[in-house]
Amino acid sequence: MAIVTPPSKVLVTGANGFIAVWIVRFLLEQGYAVRGTVRTDSKAKYLKERFAQHGSKLEVLVIPDMTAKGAFDESVKDVQGILHTAAPVITNGTYETVVTPSVDMTENILLSALKYGNELRRITVTSSVVTLMQPHEPGYTFTDKDWNEYALQELKDKGDKAAPHIFYFASKTLAERAAWKFYEEHKAEVKWDLETILFPYVFGPKFHEEYSNGKAQSFLYSHLEQQKLADTLGDAAGAWADVRDVALGHILSLQKEGAAGKRLIISAGGFAWQDVYDALATAQPKLEGIPKGTPGVPRKAFSIPDASKTNELLGMTYHSLAESARDTVLSVRSPGSF
């Protein structure tokens, strides 16, 4: 069970993404060499300019189609670690546009690693807590033993008429299962370990280049702008984690011997939207234009993933909800401030 520490070279696929850019930043700051993959020349140019102070420590390869056979053959050579974050981000598609490419990307990079990853020690595949979470009674705690069989059955029963989120849930579940299946089939042939990272809604400051109408896209910020019904503010909204903690979790998965072969759940806990409003009310500096909601509204039971095993394995600590929500808002209102 070899670990990957600086100054090793780490491949980060989809290196321009929301989480991946923070991963690249932290890897470089810790003294790693980084090879990133992106789909276009413009994204490569952005990354090189953004991290210009690190010079040749950052290499960026353009791979227009990461679902193509052999797409990662060159990128896996002479790296000691891989953080595979690239995945389709389509919320309203079909099996062929959402599920197939997600599985193909995962299988592609593992096949390239098998063929050409002679120096590899670890591969971490970015997954999601949606691979765990299916309908249960309120208050159920999900663990790394859970799998989202519900989404797979919905897709089987309804095909392209399934609800849009089912395609995303199924894509993450099938891609992660494909990774573990591949590893089990080839474990005797490889010298590297496999881990998967499962995380929930991600809050925190935007550091990547993706802006829409001058405003960074943000799940949390877009919800702050919506008027919610007062009696729903205490409903369970899901689990959350700060983007900086998720990024560091990826790096720690390479560095901690005990992480090998694990499904690593990263989560700071469950939240209701009133929790976000209450947290932002305490934030410093004080933020204007934030809804107050209905302080004191009763909270309903959460069904959330249990991150305790991962926290112990990796030594995880988390930003507070107030810090994460505040920094999200600041980064959206002042692009480039982080």
| Phi and psi angles of residue 132, each rounded to the nearest 5 degrees, phi first | -100, -40
Q: What percent of the chain has pLDDT over 90?
A: 75
Query: Mean pLDDT over residues 156-171, rounded?
Result: 91
72 within a domain of the structure (yes/no): yes
pLDDT, position 216? 46
Question: Does position 212 have pLDDT exceeding 80, yes or no?
Answer: no
Tens digits of residue pLDDT in 301-313 = 888 999 999 999 9
- Identify whether residues 168 and 221 lie together within a single domain: no
Instruction: Tell whether 4 is covered by a domain.
Output: no
Q: Confidence band (pLDDT; 50, 70, 90) for 210? A: low
Give a yes or no: residue 91 inside a domain.
yes
Task: Let me know whether 111 and 200 are in one domain.
Answer: yes
Closest CA to 123 of 51, 61, 202, 187: 187
The reported pLDDT for the residue numbered 215 is 46
Instruction: Give the tens place of pLDDT for each residue, 46-57.
Output: 999 999 999 999
For the chain, how many structural domains are there in total? 2
Q: Are residues 160 and 136 part of one domain?
A: yes
Question: Is pLDDT of 17 > 50?
Answer: yes
Tokens of 167: 């395609």
Do 301 and 322 lie in a common domain? yes
| 33 — pLDDT class (breaks 50, 70, 90) | very high
pLDDT reported for residue 220: 83
- 142 plus 284 within the same structural domain: no
Question: Same domain for 264 and 215?
Answer: no
Same domain membership, residue 280 and residue 192: no
Query: Looking at the structure, do residues 175 and 228 belong to the same domain, yes or no?
Result: no
pLDDT digits (tens, 9 = 90+) for 76-119: 999 999 999 998 766 677 888 889 999 999 999 999 999 999 99
Amino acid letter at 253? S
Q: Is residue 65 assigned to a domain?
A: yes
Is residue 236 scored above 90 in pLDDT? no
178 and 276 fall within a common domain: no
Average pLDDT of the chain is: 92
Closest CA to 323 of 220, 236, 197: 220
Of residues 217 and 157, the one with the higher pLDDT is 157
Domain assignment present for residue 3? The answer is no
The angle subtended at Cα 193 by Cα 190 and Cα 195, nearest 5°, is: 140
Give the integer Cα–Cα distance in Å for 62 and 54: 19
Whether residue 113 is found in the same domain as residue 230: no
> Does the pLDDT at position 194 exceed 50?
yes
Instruction: Report the pLDDT averaged over residues 121-130.
Output: 97
Residue 200 one-letter amino acid: P
Q: What is the C-alpha separation between 15 and 107, in angstroms, rounded?
A: 18
CATH number of 140's domain: 3.40.50.720
Q: How far apart are CA 254 and CA 194, in angstroms?
A: 10
Whether residue 208 is predicted with pLDDT greater than 80 in this model: the reply is: no
**pLDDT above 60: residue 203:** yes
Do residues 197 and 223 share a domain?
Answer: no
Predicted TM-score (pTM) of the model is: 0.94
Q: Where in the sequence is the domain holding 165, given as residue range(s)?
A: 9-204+240-268+308-314
pLDDT of residue 270: 94
Q: Is residue 233 part of a domain?
A: yes
User: Does the residue 283 lie in any domain?
Assistant: yes
165 plus 118 within the same structural domain? yes
Question: Which residue has better confidence, 90 or 15?
Answer: 15
Q: Does a structural domain hold residue 1?
A: no
Q: What confidence category does residue 217 fall into, taking pLDDT thresholds of 50, 70 and 90?
A: low
DSSP state of 214: T
Nearest to 220 by CA among 89, 331, 90: 331
Q: In what helix (H) or strand (E) does residue 236 lie, and over which residues does it extend?
A: none
Q: What number of other Cβ atoms are within 10 A of residue 218's Cβ? A: 20
Res 90: pLDDT: 67
